[in-house]
Amino acid sequence: MKSARCSFLAALVSFTAILFAGCDKKDSATSSGSSGSGKKKLAYVTNGVDPFWNTAAAGVRAAEKKFGVECEVLMPAKGIVDQKRMIEGLLARGIDGIAISPIDAKNQVGLIAEAAACCPVITHDSDAPDSKRLCFVGMVNYKAGRAAGKLVKRALPDPLTPRLRSTSRATPVRHPQKQFPIRLAARSAPQTL
């Protein structure tokens, strides 16, 4: 599972770097976000502070070297207000691109639209489909839960009731029954985890 997580993060960071390396809404001679070295300046904004994001930050650092970009990793410790302040600061400094994991997608559509008017913006880990972001990079937890459920069923052939719990403190699970659903077939009563 750890290697799958690392592979996902590596793919996310590589995709993000490639996407932004090719995007340039401004003339490169007048881009205020690019450093004197001519490298694109990007921001990778998480949805909180969690050990998961430390792994992502390490991937960002590796992608910086691989793709010749500069990337600032920002982890808002104080929630949505902190994340908004960070995005506004990046825009004021003329950042060339932003990858954001929105904390509250429905209430951040305007903020993402404001950012997208200035530079390319993608969402990662948490999507904001109604925003003006270019794309979402991540996975659908429901489908991932279904796939994991099939693996649990194979690993636990006895009629046990497995219990799974999320250990992430970054984002509260609003609908735990939808976060990790598993239908254990061939049981008298289907079970959802």
* Torsion sign, CA atoms 143, 15, 47, 57: positive
Q: pLDDT at residue 143 above 90?
A: no
In Å, how far are 33, 44, 100, 179 from 56, measured between CA atoms? Answer: 23, 9, 12, 21
- Superfamily per CATH, domain 2-22+32-137: Response regulator (3.40.50.2300)
pLDDT of residue 36: 62
CA angle 44, 93, 22 (to 5 degrees): 55
pLDDT tens digits, 87-126 = 999 999 999 999 999 999 999 999 999 999 999 999 998 8
Name the band, by pLDDT with cuts 50, 70 and 90, for residue 141.
Answer: confident
Q: pTM surpassing 0.95?
A: no
The percent of residues above 90 in pLDDT, for the chain, comes to 42
What are the structural domain ranges in the chain? 2-22+32-137, 141-179
The percent of residues above 70 in pLDDT, for the chain, comes to 62
Least confident stretch, 1-5, 129-133, 141-145, 165-169 = 1-5
pLDDT of residue 114: 95
DSSP 41-52: EEEEE-SS--HH
Mean pLDDT of 163-186: 49
Mean pLDDT of 29-39: 58
Least confident stretch, 33-37, 72-76, 169-173, 183-187 = 183-187
Q: pLDDT at residue 160 above 60?
A: no
